[in-house]
């Protein structure tokens, strides 16, 4: 072998060794270590099983009155109607979600039986109650929105010669029903999108079988329960959802202030208020389906 050939063979060998020198090997190793870390940082947080169910499953939507679902029924696609338990159930696609919508009726009994029939018949991943209410918080004005974090039956108790005394439901959680935190958060974000943050509230809603049109009773609802709104169905639907182990939330837009002028204000404002809640439901469905899209709005 000539010296020239030997030299060129040695040079090639050196080049080869250099290309896997400790420094470059370390660099490669460091890259190998950092790349997956960067990738992990870029990954969105994994969805929980419940978030996935809410994203892909069927959502039940309940109201008390026709005007509280009319905007939803104008927007539902591929609708199919079923009649049972004295009600019409509309299933179809709304804002990318499969939904079943029912007007259950006014008051705790009709709301509860409507919710039970809905949950018996359909396999739902969650329940949204949509509708209107009387504002009982100092700050909750007509057309403001209250997303229930919890609900209470304000007319559940005992009557003695000393008068009516609220006892709450007979269990150990103090008479309150707690809405699902994921649905509450999504409803809150959607309400802000639809009516603005200054008109959106989260808190306790008081339910009873009475239309409240009394300032003194509003004061009691505030003092006893810290209620921001009163209505006639929410807590009973909550109670049924708990029995069926389904997540739920209640969305209410104020049609009145539950005061001495409430009946008149209610008559003027109920349709606009009902539409607000429907718009929030639609925004919510979009957000649940596509959290990325939801966060952009
Ligand atoms: N729904 C709307 N307004 C209401 C009120 N003042 N009392 C009970 N339910 C209502």
Q: In angstroms, what is the span from residue 134 Cα to ligand 1's centroid?
A: 4
Per the prediction, the chain carries an average pLDDT of 87
Q: Give residues with Cβ within 8 angstroms of 70, minimum separation 6.
A: 274, 275, 278
Concerning whether 242 is annotated as a catalytic residue, the answer is no
φ, ψ of residue 285 to 5 degrees: the values are: -60, -40
Choices 3.40.50.1580, 3.30.470.20, 3.40.50.300, 3.90.1180.10: CATH for 49-296: 3.40.50.1580
Residue with structure tokens 């009709």? Answer: 110
pLDDT tens digits along 100-148: 999 999 999 999 999 999 999 999 999 999 999 999 999 999 999 999 9
Q: What is the pLDDT of residue 55?
A: 86
Residue 54 CB neighbour total at 10 angstroms: 24
Domains of the chain: which residue ranges? Answer: 49-296
What DSSP designation does 211 have? -
Candidate from 137, 144, 217, 256 with most ligand 1 atoms within 8 A of CB, to mutate: 256
- The residues with which 203 forms a beta bridge, in sequence order, are 148
Query: Token pair for residue 95?
Result: 């804002």
Which of 63, 106, 133, 270 to probe ligand 1 with, by most ligand atoms within 8 A of CB? Answer: 133
**pLDDT, tens only, 62-95:** 999 999 999 999 999 999 999 999 999 999 999 9
Q: What is the pLDDT of residue 226?
A: 97
In sequence order, what are the beta bridge partners of 60? Answer: 100, 127
Cα–ligand 1 centroid distance for 288 (angstroms): 29
The alpha-helical segments, DSSP class H, found in 196-261 are: 215-225, 234-243
Over the stretch 9-29, which tens digit does the pLDDT of each residue have?
444 444 333 343 333 333 444
CB 56 within 8 A of CB 64: no
Task: Collapse the DSSP code of 244 into the 3-class scheme (helix H, G, I; strand E, B; otherwise coil) and give the result.
Answer: coil
Give kind and range of the element (H or E) at residue 87.
Answer: strand 87-94
Which atom of ligand 1 sits closest to the CA of residue 273? 2
Q: How far is the CA of 231 from the centre of ligand 1 (A)?
A: 5
CA-nearest residue for atom 9, ligand 1, is 231
Residue 197: C-alpha distances to residues 43, 183, 200 (Å): 30, 17, 5
Is 68 one of the catalytic residues? yes
Residue found by looking up tokens 């229930």 in the block: 148
With a Cβ cut-off of 6 Å, ligand 1 is lined by: 132-134, 211-213, 230-232, 255-256, 258, 262, 266
d(CA 61, ligand 1 centre) in Å: 19
């Amino acid at each position: 072998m000539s010296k020239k050939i030997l030299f060129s063979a040695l040079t090639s060998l050196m080049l080869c060794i250099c290309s896997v020198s400790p420094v470059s090997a370390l660099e490669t190793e460091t890259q190998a270590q950092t790349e997956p870390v960067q990738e992990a940082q870029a990954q969105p947080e994994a969805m929980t099983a419940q978030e996935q169910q809410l994203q892909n499953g069927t959502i039940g939507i309940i109201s008390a009155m026709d005007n509280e679902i009319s905007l939803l029924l104008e927007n539902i696609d591929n609708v199919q109607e079923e009649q049972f338990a004295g009600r019409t159930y509309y299933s179809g696609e709304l804002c990318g979600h499969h939904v079943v919508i029912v007007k259950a009726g006014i008051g705790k009994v009709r709301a509860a039986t409507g919710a039970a029939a809905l949950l018996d018949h359909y396999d739902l991943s969650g329940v949204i109650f949509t509708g209107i209410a009387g504002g009982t918080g100092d700050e909750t004005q007509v057309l403001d929105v209250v997303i229930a974090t919890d609900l209470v039956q304000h007319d559940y108790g005992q009557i003695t010669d000393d008068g009516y005394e609220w006892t709450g439901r007979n269990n150990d959680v103090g008479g309150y029903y707690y809405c699902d935190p994921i649905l509450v958060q999504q409803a809150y974000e959607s309400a802000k999108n639809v009516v603005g943050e200054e008109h959106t509230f989260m808190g306790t809603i008081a339910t009873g079988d009475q239309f409240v049109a009394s300032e003194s009773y509003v004061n009691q609802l505030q003092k006893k329960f810290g209620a921001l709104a009163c209505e006639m169905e929410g807590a009973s639907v909550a109670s049924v959802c708990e029995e069926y182990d389904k997540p739920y939330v209640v969305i209410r837009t104020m049609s009145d202030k539950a005061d001495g002028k409430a009946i008149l204000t209610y008559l003027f404002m109920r349709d606009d208020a009902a539409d607000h809640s429907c718009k929030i439901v639609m925004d919510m469905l979009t957000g649940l389906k596509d959290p990325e899209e939801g966060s952009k709005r």
